[in-house]
Amino acid sequence: MDRWQHNIHAAELRLIALSPVTLMGAALTGAIAAPILWLSLDHRLVLAWTAAIFALTALRLLLWLRFRRVSQSDAAVIAWERPMTLTISLSGMLWGLFGVGFYLVGDPEIRGVVLLILASMLAAGTIFYSAHLRAHHGYVLACALPIAIASFVHASPTSILFGCLTLAYIALIVRAAHSFNRGISSALRLQLENASLVEGLKSAKEGAEEANRSKSQFLAAMSHELRTPLNAVIGYSEILLEDTAADGSGEERIADLRRIHAAGRHLLALVNDVLDLAKIEAGRVDVLAEPFELRGFLDEVAATVLPMVERNGNELQIRCAGDAGIVVGDATKLRQIVLNLLSNAAKFTTQGRITLTAARERRADIDWISISVADTGIGIARETLGRLFTPFTQADAATANKYGGTGLGLALSQRLARLMGGDIVAESEPGRGSRFTLALPASDAGPARAGDGLIGMLGERVAQTLGLPGTLKLS
């Protein structure tokens, strides 16, 4: 059996049981029909028919009121199928008796009104009861068959023809009801399937959010446990390096200690990047809004990264527009982004030029700051640009093997930029270099979701490691 059949069946019953329109329509039409019959038929018959119509309407109203209490349960709704079908069929039978009045009155105008009322009740039954075919068929047959039988009993050629037309009309209505029912069933099935899909997606979303929360809690709990021994390794290696240098020990031992120190710092950087990224994805980051002067900020960042730039024989240029002025934002996060971009440029460029450019521009009545880092390095293939900002992704395996890295820097920078209301765009051509452009609102773009706060650990880490004095070529 179709998994939705039980639910569809219950929904069809609700469609015809929860609407009081048919009850009000039956009462109103009965009030109109009784005076018409009163003029031509025995008053006792008219009174009996009228009393039956209103008594049945009252019974159906009571059933409707009781049905509303259990309408949310499919099993309880289906249990009401029999009394619902029976009362609807009885209603059709009473209107069928009304139709027989066509042959009991002689006035052509009254006969026309009787046929008009009967046809309207049949049409209304098809509209309102097609959702449940048993109720519909019971109503239509009980409503139309009496006048068809009376036509054949009357036995005149005209009445026999009218009886045949009535049977054809019944067949047409039944066929139309089946067509309507298929449409209703399809719509109900689609609604149930969509509701199930939405519920499944909601459950999957809740599961993913719970897993993400668990991951964040785990990373937060492990943060201290991971960083403490790494900081100890780095600290002890620095002490040993100083002691070894003071003792005049061999270069081989110093080289080993430097490798230990470098490996510790590399591992700590990786741990910090992963934790930073996890916090951003979990929405546990604050964005601060503090004013700072852009030119002085860029000079500080450039001084920090200069040793890395010069290590590969590169030249660093800074081009800051005179109207760059004051920026209101999170300087720590911006420093982390710019340091990442400059570090990448320095790593993938040899004997070349790295240009740090900043300018203020107007977009839709809002001041924006554009900071770009351009280099003359190895460049990036066009097909690779699309996945540059995916965590743990690098341009290609050969580049990763030669230059190292974790593939987290650009992903982290892009998320920080978007957290501050901006974005990073990459342009590159193999062999001719790359350009990464960061665009940010010059004023506060609004705080992110409140949380633990993301400290600019990567920027501070680079500053501590590479913050040596040096000279810059400014242009």
Domain boundary among 179, 202, 225: 202
Whether the Cβ atoms of residue 61 and residue 23 lie closer than 8 Å to each other: yes
| Per-residue confidence (pLDDT) for residue 358, from 0 to 100 | 93
Residue 224 has pLDDT above 70, yes or no: no
Distance CA 258, CA 124 (A): 91
DSSP string, 330-373: -HHHHHHHHHHHHHHHHHT-SSSEEEEEEEEEEETTEEEEEEEE
Q: Examine the domain organization and report whether 445 and 324 are in the same domain.
A: yes
Please compute, for residue 2, the number of CA atoms within 13 A of its CA located in the half-sphere on the CB side. Answer: 11
End-to-end Cα, the chain, rounded Å? 78
CB 340 within 8 Å of CB 351:
no
Give the 3-state secondary structure of residue 24. Answer: helix
Q: Please, which pLDDT band fits residue 450 given cuts at 50, 70 and 90?
A: very low
Question: Does residue 114 fall inside a structural domain?
Answer: yes
For residues 114 and 101, the answer to whether their CB atoms sit within 8 Å is: yes
Instruction: State which amino acid sits at residue 387.
Output: R
Distance, CA of 57 to CA of 22 (rounded, Å):
9
**What's the CA gap between 33 and 41, in Å, rounded?**
12
Q: Grade residue 144 by pLDDT with cuts at 50, 70 and 90.
A: very high
In a domain, 365, yes or no: yes
* 263-277, 280-294, 378-392, range with the lowest pLDDT: 263-277
Residue span of the structural domain in which 405 resides: 290-474
**What does the pLDDT average to over 279-297?**
81
Is pLDDT larger for residue 194 or for residue 4? Answer: 194
Asked if the model's pLDDT at residue 404 lies above 70, the reply is no
Residue 316 pLDDT class (50, 70, 90 cuts): very high
Lowest mean per-residue pLDDT among 5-9, 319-323, 356-360, 463-467 = 463-467
* CB-based contact 413:391 (threshold 8 Å): no
CB atoms within 10 A of CB 196: 13
- pLDDT for the residue 165: 93
Q: Please check the confidence at residue 11 and state whether its pLDDT lies above 50.
A: yes
CB neighbour burial string for 32-68, b if at least 16 within 10 angstroms, e if fewer: ebbebbeeeeeeeebeebbebbeebbeebeebbeebe
Same domain assignment for residues 303 and 195: no
What is the pLDDT at residue 399? 58
Domain annotation covers residue 321: yes
- What distance in Å separates the CA atoms of residue 426 and residue 380, rounded to the nearest whole number? 10
328 and 430 both lie in a single domain: yes
Q: How confident is the model at residue 140 (pLDDT cuts 50, 70, 90)?
A: very high
The reply to whether 68 falls in a domain is yes
Shared-domain flag, residues 310 and 455: yes
pLDDT (0 to 100) of residue 446: 40
321: left (phi over 0), alpha (psi -120 to 50) or beta: beta
Where residue 376 falls (left for φ over 0; alpha for ψ -120 to 50; beta otherwise) is: alpha
Amino acid sitting at position 292 = F
Judge whether 281 lies within some domain.
Answer: no
Question: Based on C-alpha coordinates, what's the Rg of the chain?
Answer: 41
What SS3 class is residue 292? strand
187 and 331 within one domain? no
Same domain, 318 and 446: yes
How is residue 328 annotated by DSSP?
E
Where among 147, 182, 202 does a domain terminate? Answer: 202
> Contact 346/308 with Cβ under 8 angstroms?
yes
Q: How many domains does the chain have?
A: 2
Rounded to whole angstroms, how far apart are CA atoms 272 and 69? 59
Q: Are residues 18 and 120 in the same domain?
A: yes
CA distance 143 to 223: 79
Torsion of CA 73, 76, 82, 83, to 10 degrees: -100
Query: Is residue 149 domain-shared with residue 40, that is, in the same domain?
Result: yes
Highest mean pLDDT among 216-225, 244-253, 346-355, 435-444: 346-355
Q: Give yes or no for a contact between 283 and 451, defined as CB atoms under 8 angstroms apart.
A: yes
**Is residue 230, in this structure, part of any structural domain at all?**
no
Q: Which residue among 202, 217, 243 closes a domain? A: 202
| Same-domain pairing of 165 and 27 | yes
Do 151 and 297 fall into the same domain? no
Residue 297 and residue 441 in one domain: yes
Q: In this predicted structure, what is the pLDDT of residue 444?
A: 54
Our measurement of the distance from residue 57's CA atom to the centroid of its chain's CA atoms, rounded to an integer in Å, reads 47
Task: Specify which of 161-170, 235-244, 455-464 reaches the highest per-range mean pLDDT.
Answer: 161-170
Residue 9 belongs to a domain: yes
Q: 54 pLDDT exceeds 80?
A: yes
CATH code, 365: 3.30.565.10
- Torsion over CA: 226, 228, 231, 232 (sign): negative
Tell me the Ramachandran region of residue 446: left when phi exceeds 0, alpha when psi lies from -120 to 50, beta otherwise.
Answer: left
In the predicted structure, residue 139 carries a pLDDT above the cut 80: yes
Say which range, 47-56, 160-169, 247-256, has the weakest mean pLDDT.
247-256
Strand order across the beta sheet in which 315-320 lies: 423-429, 433-441, 366-375, 353-363, 315-320, 473-474
* 91 is a domain residue: yes
189 and 294 assigned to the same domain: no
